Amino acid sequence: MPIKAAQLNHTQDGTPYSDTFKDVYHSSTSGLGQSRHVFWTGCECARHFETHANLGILETGFGIGLNFLSTWNERNQTFPENQLHFISVEKFPFTRADLARLHEAFPELAPLAAQLQAQWPDLVPGLHRLSFEHGRVTLTLGLGDALELLPQINARVDAFYLDGFSPAKNPELWSPAVYAQLRRLAAPGATLATWSVTGHVRRGLQEAGFHVERRPGFGSKREMLTGRLADDTPPPPAPARERRALVLGAGVAGTSVAERLAARGWQITLLDENAAPGQGASGNRAGVFRPLPSLDDNRLARITRAGFVYGKGHLARLLAGGHPLRWGQTGVLHLARDDKQAGKMRAVVETHQPPADYLQYLEPEAATALIGWPVAQGGWFFPQGGWIQPPSLCAANLAAAGDRVEARFNTRVAQLVRDSGRACWQALDASGAVLAEAPVLILANGVGIRQLPEAGALPVRLARGQVSHLPAEAGSAPKMVVCRLGYVSPEVDGVRCAGATFMADDEGTELRLAEHQENLEKLDFILPGYSAGIDPAALDGRVGFRPASPDRLPMVGPVPVHQPVAKETPLHAIERHPGLYAVSGFGARGLVWASLMGELLASQLEGEPLPLEQDLVDALDPARYLLKPPRPQKGNEE
C-alpha cells in the first residue's frame, strides 16, 4: 500500500489540523502540556523509569512526533542514562519539510526535533528503526495501517500512549482489534493513558484486560483515562546474562553485528582467518547499494527496502563519527532487460507511488542523459543508492565499536565445542587449543559456516563470483552504478568494476578468461558497445565466494539443531543450540542487508523491540528450512 503524506493544515488559532480526519493533532491550549500531563504523567513514566533500566513505550498515532519528543525530553531531564524504546505507528506521516515547520512551535524541543528531522525516513511502508543518544533512545516507527502493523510488532511494552484522532473520527484505532494487540504486547504492570473517556473505549480496554479509571484531564478536556494491566504478576527474574560474544568472520556480516552489540555495551572477540577485515566475500573494490522493489511487494522487496533505508542511516552515523568508510551516493540505475520487464518496472512505480527521491522510473532518453551513454531501455533510478567499498565498511564498523571489539586476524577456527557446565562456547584451532570462548557464539564466517557441524541445518551454498577490473579515467561515463543482469560501477581509484559471475558450488580461486569474457558480455548488455577495444586477457579482477541461500533471503537468528521436525511445528518451538546464532546467506546483497541484520540480531539478544515486522523475522529464521526443504536456486542474483 502506498504511503500518502499528511497535508499540513491549521485551524484558525494555529493548531495543526487533519483534513482527512477532520480533527486536530493536539490540544489547542498547549500540545506540549497535554503530552506531559496525559501521557508522561498518566502512564507514570517516571515511576517506570525508576524501576526499568529499559523502558518500552508504544503510541498509536505518531502525528507530528510531539509525544516522542516530549518523552525523550523528560527522559533526558530525569533519567538520562536509562534506555528508551519508543514505538509508534502512523498511516499518514508528514514530510520532513512539514515536520520541521510544525516543530517550530516548540522551541524548547528544538535540539531533539532537529535530530528527528535529520533521521526522518523515506516515506515507504514498514518499520523504520531510528537511533539517538548513541543508541540510548530508539524510535521504531511503523508507516502504514495500524491494524496491519501492530500484529507484526515484536516487543514488550511498559506504557501505551493512545493518541489517535477522536474515536468518532478514526474508529479503527479505537477498536477491539487494537486493544487485543495492546494486551499481547503488554509487559507485567503495563500502564496506558489517553485523553478520551468515551464509553466504548473504556469498555473495550476493560474487556482486553486493563483496569481503567478516569482522572482530571488537560485544558478543555475535563477528564482523561488511565489504565493498568489487570494481570500484572511479574515473571520470575531472568538469570543475569554475561554480555560477551564470540563472532566468527570479519566481513560485512560479522563486523555489522559486532558493532551493533558493542554499541549496547557488549564485549566482542572477533576471529577471522584473513589478514584484515573484509577480505572474503566482502573484499571487492565496489559493491552495489540499492533496494529491489516488486509489484507484489514480496518479502525480498520488503527486506531489501528495510535494509536500504536503515543502511543509509548507519552509513551516515559512521561518516559522522569520522570512521574510514568509502561510499559514493551516486545513484543507481537499474535498466530493464526487455520491453516486458520495462512495463513491470513502470507498474511498480505507478502502483506503489514511492517518493521521487527514493525511486523513479526513467524512460530510455532520460536514462541515456543521466549516465552519458546511449541505452535502449529505461528502468528504475534510485537517487540515494550508490556504491560501497566493502572492506572500508568492515573497517569503519570496527572503528566505531572501539575497544569493545578485540579483532584477531590470521586465526583459523577448526572446531567448535560447547562447555555445557559453564554455558560457554569455545573456538578451537587445528591442534585443539582454545582460541577464544564466550557464552554467545555468532557464525558470520561466510561460506566457512558450511564446515561447521553445528550449522548443519543451514543449507548455505557457495557461489563463486568473479569481478573484472577495467581501467577507468576519473569523470568517465558512467558516473553511477548501472545494473542489468550484472552491474558496472563508476570509476573508483582508477578502476571500474564489472560483473559479476555466479558459479554455484565452484570452489576455484583462479581468475578465468572465460568469466572475464562473460563479464564483458554483461557489460555490453548494460551499456551497448562499451567493451569495444577491451582485451579480456589483459584484465585484472577478483574472485570471491558468496554464502547464498536457496530462497535468496538471509539466515539470521538462533541456529536450530539439525534433526527431523514435524512440518506443523511452530518456528519458536524448534530446538536450538543454546547460545549459537547465525548471520549468513547474504548472497550478492550483503551491502544492503548487513547493517539491518546486525541490528536485528543485537535486538534479539538484548530482548529489545525488533526492527522488522514479525513475518519478515520469521522469513529470516535459520530454522525455516527444517519446515520446508529448500528448492534448488537457479541463475545469478541481479
CA 338 to the chain's CA centroid:
32
Q: Report pLDDT for 26.
A: 86
Nearest of 300, 377, 333, 348 to residue 588 by alpha carbon: 300
Nearest of 507, 516, 521, 509 to residue 541 by alpha carbon: 516
* pLDDT tens profile 307-364: 999 999 999 999 999 999 999 999 999 999 999 999 999 999 999 999 999 999 999 9
* Average pLDDT, integer, range 246-250: 98
Residue 525 CA to residue 532 CA, distance in Å, equals 12
537: phi then psi, degrees, rounded to nearest 5:
-70, -20
Residue 579 CA to residue 572 CA, distance in Å, equals 15
Q: Report pLDDT for 235.
A: 66
Q: Report pLDDT for 21.
A: 86
Residue 154 — left, alpha, or beta (φ > 0 → left; ψ -120 to 50 → alpha)? beta
134: phi then psi, degrees, rounded to nearest 5:
55, 35
CB 442 within 8 A of CB 254: yes
Query: β-strands 434-438, 424-428: how paired?
Result: antiparallel
Confidence band of 635 (pLDDT split at 50, 70, 90) = very low
Query: β-strands 223-229, 210-216: how paired?
Result: antiparallel
Nearest of 60, 145, 87, 128 to residue 358 by alpha carbon: 128
Where is pLDDT greater, at 24 or 496? 496
Three cell numbers written together for 623 = 530454522
Residue 589 CA to residue 597 CA, distance in Å, equals 12
Q: Report pLDDT for 236.
A: 64
Q: Report pLDDT for 13.
A: 83
Residue 533 CA to residue 535 CA, distance in Å, equals 6
Contact partners, residue 238, CB within 8 Å, separation at least 6: none
Q: Report pLDDT for 476.
A: 94
Neighbours of 504 (CB within 10 A): 15
CA-CA-CA-CA torsion sign (73, 77, 80, 86): negative
3-class DSSP state of 56: strand
Q: What is the mean pLDDT of the chain?
A: 94
Burial class (CB in 10 A: 0-12, 13-18, 19+), 319: middle
Confidence band of 28 (pLDDT split at 50, 70, 90) = confident
Contact partners, residue 350, CB within 8 Å, separation at least 6: 361
* 477 pLDDT above the threshold of 80: yes
Same fold, 9-229 and 244-279+391-460+550-627: no
Confidence band of 415 (pLDDT split at 50, 70, 90) = very high
Confidence band of 137 (pLDDT split at 50, 70, 90) = very high
Q: Report pLDDT for 172.
A: 92
Residue 609 preceded by cis peptide, ω within 30: no
Question: Which top CATH class is 9-229?
Answer: alpha beta
The continuous run of DSSP H or E covering 193 comes out as strand 186-194
* pLDDT tens profile 606-628: 999 999 999 999 999 999 999 98
* 234 pLDDT above the threshold of 70: no
3-class DSSP state of 38: helix
Considering the domain 244-279+391-460+550-627 in this protein, what is its CATH number?
3.50.50.60
CB 159 within 8 A of CB 191: yes
Residue 359 CA to residue 346 CA, distance in Å, equals 11
CB 602 within 8 A of CB 260: yes
Read off the amino acid at residue 467: V
The continuous run of DSSP H or E covering 298 comes out as none
* 98 pLDDT above the threshold of 90: yes
Which residues are bridge partners to 349 per DSSP?
A: none
The residues spanned by each domain of the chain are 9-229, 244-279+391-460+550-627
Residue 560 CA to residue 577 CA, distance in Å, equals 6
